[in-house]
Amino acid sequence: MSDGSHFAAAWLALREPVDARSRAGSLDHAVAAWLATRAAPHGRAVSVLDLGAGSGSNLRYLAPRLGLAQQWTLLDQDAGLLAQATRQLPSLPDSLEVSTRCADMRGWCEAPEVLDAWLDGVELVTASALLDLVSQPWVEALAAAVSRRQAAVLIALSVDGDWQLDAADPDHDAASQRAHEDQWMRRHYRAHQATDKGAGAALGGAAPEAMASALQAHGYRLQMADSPWVLQAPADRALGEALLEGWREAVSEQVPDAVVEVERWHAARLASWQRGELIIRVGHRDLLALPDSEGHDHG
Ligand SMILES: C[S@@+](CC[C@H](N)C(=O)[O-])C[C@H]1O[C@@H](n2cnc3c(N)ncnc32)[C@H](O)[C@@H]1O
């Protein structure tokens, strides 16, 4: 899945179609309408900055849904993923220009002028599958910077720290034992999420609310929507296997003394998943923040 903040291209490719079917379409319509009011009077391309863009999944999803000429900058610390993104651009009826910026976002909390420079001329700041990795100072620095520019913010697919493995099992005792074990895994997985993932002590599942509060403090109007993954084998078999493996690795790292219990949990759930007995639900949140139409910064 990932090694700290380094993400495997294969993992990003596996999740892309599930991300696309899970995202909250209502937020795409709202941001497209807002951008149209910005761009249309001048007949020019809107400028979009994609943070933690990886191999370009967010661009491939969102650009065709905006319905106007666009100029994207894909920002990531991984040059290999960015190169892959530029090889897989969507084709649009309107013009699309894409450039990349290979940079580490960690520095901007101490140097807000760096972020201000990146945001120069930008009307939409977007990200997907990123927010759980970032820290509170990162969130506050971003909210302050976007409000200086009065840019819109669309952040999709932020994990909220919740996941469930639902099984149709008539045996009540077995089901409650499984629920107890899953809860134990979830608790340690959440603790693991809160370690540094590349942008300070990570907010993990608390990130969507933290980002929303920071933007509201600057007078932004917020829309939040659930965008959960609901996975079932055989269609989503490989992604489910990767998730179970990711949870196994994270909790083994977090609680090294409990490796035997973690291995037993993993073997049992993997077997149930492969037999098609489980539905895996992973909680995600999408967030759209539009600036106060009067342009006042409340921060
Ligand atoms: C889970 S991936 C999501 C990629 C893409 N947005 C998607 O939806 O497929 C997170 C991305 O954030 C990038 N990233 C993490 N920490 C970073 C940092 N401090 N500076 C720049 N990029 C970072 C990683 O390289 C990775 O590409």
CB atoms within 10 A of CB 98: 20
CA distances for 151 relative to 25, 134, 190, 214, angstroms: 20, 20, 32, 14
Tokens of 288: 């759209």
- Along the chain (299 residues), what's the average pLDDT of each consecutive run of 10 residues? 66 96 97 89 88 98 96 97 97 93 88 92 97 93 96 97 83 84 93 69 90 98 98 96 95 94 96 94 98 61
CA nearest ligand 1 atom 7, residue: 57
Atom of ligand 1 lying closest to residue 106 CA: 19
The predicted pLDDT at position 198 comes to 56
Rounded distance from Cα 51 to ligand 1 centre (Å): 7
CATH top-level class for 2-162+199-230+283-290?
alpha beta
Residue from 7, 84, 203 to probe ligand 1 pocket by mutation (most atoms less than 8 Å from CB): 7
Residue from 11, 15, 133, 139 to probe ligand 1 pocket by mutation (most atoms less than 8 Å from CB): 133
- Bin 89: left if φ > 0, else alpha if -120 < ψ < 50, else beta: beta
Q: What is the rounded CA–CA span in Å between residue 200 and residue 55?
A: 23
Question: How far does Cα 18 stand from its chain's mean position?
Answer: 13
Tally of helices (H runs) and strands (E runs) in the chain: 10, 10
- pTM for the full predicted model: 0.92
Query: Does 78 contact ligand 1 (Cβ within 6 A)?
Result: yes
Q: What is the largest CA-CA distance in the chain?
A: 65
The predicted pLDDT at position 4 comes to 47
What dihedral angle (degrees, nearest 10) is formed by the CA atoms of 267, 273, 277, 278?
110
Nearest by Cα to 231 from 275, 260, 273: 273
Tokens of 33: 């309408």
| Domain residue ranges of the chain, discontinuous segments joined by + | 2-162+199-230+283-290
Query: Does 22 contact ligand 1 (Cβ within 6 A)?
Result: no
- 174-197 burial by CB neighbour count: b if 16+ within 10 A, else e? eeeebeebbebbbebbbebbbeeb
DSSP 3-state assignment of 144?
Answer: helix
